Amino acid sequence: MDTLIELFKALLFGAVEGITEWLPVSSTGHIILLNGFVKFDIPGTAAEQAAFMEFFDVAIQLGAILAVVILFFKQIWPFGIEDRDAEVKLKVGDLESHVIRICGPMIIKKDILFLWIKIAVACLPGFAYGVLLDDMVETLTGSYKTIIVAVMLILVGILFIIVESVKKNERPRVRKISDISYLMVIVTGVAQVIAGVLPGTSRSGATIIAGLLMGLSRTVAAEFTFFLAIPTMFGASLLKLIKFLKNGMTFSGMEIAVLSVSSIVAFAVSLLALNFLMGYVKKHDFKVFGWYRIVLGLAVLGLVLGGVLR
């Protein structure tokens, strides 16, 4: 029975992660809030449990990442087989401007290759932060994390409403992901770092707001955010795993089961959340998420001041 209860908790965390990782409402904020009421009862010392939960908070994102890879595979996989039918439809020699031949009929699609180069550039600020400052920032914000989450939920919620109101009658300058400039991807990368420094900001929220301010359409801003998440979140999970193992930690059978269930559920729920968001932003703005963030932030602030959360 105890095992089933822990697996149910893992299912709950996976569902929350799957929904909130892609909606601009801060998955970290929701996980911290959920962790204040639902705690895993996993054998080990207090230090071992704390280390596992630190790793769990990041590793649970792997299922969400896989959902992006599956859902957008054709848009992010650069390798393919030469299509003679496509060559006939294009002007003579025009196919050469779209692909790079690598071996026989194997080709690399240039537009997707350039997309990954831009993603790599956008990851540079996050890489520098993760290697140089992650532990220091975690130490500085650790004891105030819940308060910071509440404040950032509110502030970014207000920012969403302001940005959408200002941009309401403006036509987006960038309607195709291939038209994003390198300056834009660097700014997006910096926005992502800000979200990493201040829990509750929301990685997707920060990058989408940056995109909207730079003239990206909502669809393009959301898609680039999703693609950028693949190396960013995978890298963060790998970094935490290395630190976890370097400290001599090992995984118990229960911990492996909890990680597996939460990741599988996060994957399944992420598929639904991604489909919902991509359909939603084609017809609506992000104001509703701004209002939701404000309400949730005020609720968290009230719980902290009331001594319910720490």
Q: Is 241 exposed, middle or buried (0-12, 13-18, 19+ CB in 10 A)?
A: middle
Question: What integer pLDDT is reported at residue 95 of this predicted model?
Answer: 54
pLDDT value, residue 75: 94
The pLDDT value recorded for residue 250 is 78
Q: Tell me the C-alpha distance between 30 and 148, whole Å.
A: 13
Domain membership of residue 258 (yes or no) is yes
**pLDDT tens series, the chain, 310 aa:** 588 999 999 999 999 999 999 999 999 889 888 888 898 888 877 777 888 887 888 888 889 999 999 999 999 999 888 765 454 444 545 555 677 777 767 788 889 999 999 999 999 988 777 666 666 656 655 557 888 999 999 999 999 999 999 998 899 999 999 999 999 999 999 999 999 888 899 999 999 999 999 999 999 999 999 999 999 888 888 877 787 778 777 788 888 999 999 999 999 999 999 999 999 999 999 999 999 999 999 999 998 888 888 7
Burial class (CB in 10 A: 0-12, 13-18, 19+), 203: buried
Helix ranges, 182-286 (H)? 182-197, 203-213, 218-246, 253-280
In a domain, 251, yes or no: yes
For the chain, state the CA radius of gyration. 21
The count of domains in the chain is: 1
Q: How many helical (H) and strand (E) elements, i.e. helices and strands, does the chain have?
A: 14, 3
Kindly state whether residue 47 falls inside one of the protein's structural domains. yes
Q: How far apart are CA 58 and CA 118, in angstroms?
A: 24
Residue 88: what pLDDT? Answer: 43
Q: Which domain holds residue 109?
A: 2-305
What is the reported pLDDT for 131? 62
What pLDDT score was predicted for residue 1? Answer: 54
Judge whether 310 lies within some domain.
no
